[in-house]
A and B are shown apart, each in its own frame.
Chain A
Amino acid sequence: MARIGVVVFPGSNCEYDAARAVEELGASAEFIFHSSTSLGDVDGVILPGGFAHGDYLRPGALARFSPVMDAVAAFAAEGGPVLGICNGFQVLTEAGLLPGALQKNRGLTFLCQPTTLVVSSTHSVLTRAAQVGARLVVPINHFSGAYTCDDTTYASLVDHGQIVLRYQDNPNGSRDDIAGVANEAGNVVGLMPHPERAMSTLLGSADGRVLLEGFVSAREIVH
């Protein structure tokens, strides 16, 4: 059974949801408090959504200096699967584990709504079980979700298949409709939409399952 660590910063609020989702997929979840310097023996790490450190200064800006982030960086460098969802994505970009940055939404309001995602690359621990071109209904829930990067970074993202998910109808002004990106190796992924909120038709969509299923079973592939 895969063991997934869920990092809890003060101000995180999707940690229980992320844990519930991975447990529904047959993995075990354990919370790793931000002050911890070790991840323990885990097969993957999720940085969940929320407002780590109140999102004060910038989303993710203070969380990247939490002690646990050194352990996350080391785990990522060894090829360990790391997933940042929403605020977790913002933390990963601030920490330099993923390229680019997330800016305020084009409309300058918070947006909580369903979106349709198009799988653009399966070269990542998140999208490895999906099909390129597949359309997945997954909700977004953020104020600062407009993906931004410079032209050089963008060209490199395209060349290496690092753009893993795009919005069908761009809700927030992201460059090239980008909803999620991976690092070059594909083991670190961040996305603004919340796949853990799309686990059941009772709640509107089960399309997030294919993403998280791929993630919780990614370790053996990476190895």
Chain B
Amino acid sequence: MNYSVVVEVTLRVGIADPEGATIERALPALGFNGVRSVRAGKMFRFDIEAESSDEALTSAQSLAERLLSNPVIEDATARLVEGR
């Protein structure tokens, strides 16, 4: 079976995020008030061949932790999505 996966990579809680902070500081000037806790991250999307959805997710989570993120500073979460 073919499964579609989305992986989100964000900085771990407690790691400084200058990009998120800069976006947050810029928002009031555009009239968006009350926005807090902006965190920047990355999103990956791919298809994966697997026997079951569990296997697809495990495999995706593993590759996300091994390659797509740096565990020293980042968290990665994989989830299955509807195919394209």
A binds B: yes
A residues within 8 Å of B by Cβ?
Answer: 57-58, 61, 65, 93-94, 100-101, 103-108, 146, 148-150, 173
B18 x A108 contact (CB < 8 A)? yes
A173 x B16 contact (CB < 8 A)? yes
B67 x A148 contact (CB < 8 A)? no
A100 x B72 contact (CB < 8 A)? yes
Query: B72: which A residues are within 8 A, CB to CB?
Result: 93, 100-101, 148-150
What 0/1 readout, one digit per residue, does chain B (10-21) give for beta carbons within 8 Å of chain A? 000011101100
- CA A93 – CA B70 in complex, angstroms? 10
Chain A interface SS verdict (over half): loop
For residue B22, CB closer than 8 A to chain A, the reply is: yes
Q: Chain B's nearest CB lies how many Å from the CB of A9?
A: 16
For residue B78, CB closer than 8 A to chain A, the reply is: no
- CA A100 – CA B22 in complex, angstroms? 23
List the count of A-B residue pairs having beta carbons below 8 Å apart.
35
Query: B6: which A residues are within 8 A, CB to CB?
Result: none
- CA A58 – CA B72 in complex, angstroms? 13
For residue B56, CB closer than 8 A to chain A, the reply is: no
B residues within 8 Å of A by Cβ?
Answer: 14-16, 18-19, 22, 67-68, 70, 72-73
Residues A103 and B22 in contact in the complex (CB < 8 Å), given A57-B68, A58-B70, A148-B73: no
Q: Chain A's nearest CB lies how many Å from the CB of B49?
A: 21
- CA A177 – CA B9 in complex, angstroms? 27
List 27 interface pairs A-B (beta carbons < 8 Å), by A numbering.
Answer: A57-B67, A57-B68, A61-B67, A61-B70, A93-B72, A94-B70, A100-B72, A101-B70, A101-B72, A101-B73, A103-B18, A103-B73, A104-B19, A105-B18, A107-B18, A108-B18, A108-B19, A108-B22, A146-B18, A148-B15, A148-B16, A148-B72, A148-B73, A149-B72, A150-B14, A150-B72, A173-B18
Q: Chain A's nearest CB lies how many Å from the CB of B69?
A: 8
Q: Chain A's nearest CB lies how many Å from the CB of B43?
A: 13
- CA A100 – CA B72 in complex, angstroms? 7
Query: A149: which B residues are within 8 A, CB to CB?
Result: 72
- CA A93 – CA B18 in complex, angstroms? 20
B15 x A103 contact (CB < 8 A)? yes
Of all chain B residues, which has the CB nearest A90?
B70
A104 x B18 contact (CB < 8 A)? yes
Query: B68: which A residues are within 8 A, CB to CB?
Result: 57
Of all chain B residues, which has the CB nearest A99?
B72
Q: Chain A's nearest CB lies how many Å from the CB of B50?
A: 22
- CA A174 – CA B16 in complex, angstroms? 10
Query: A100: which B residues are within 8 A, CB to CB?
Result: 72
Q: Chain B's nearest CB lies how many Å from the CB of A85?
A: 20
Give 9 new A-B contacts, CB below 8 A, not counting A57-B68, A104-B18, A146-B16: A57-B67, A58-B70, A105-B18, A108-B22, A146-B18, A148-B15, A148-B72, A150-B14, A150-B72
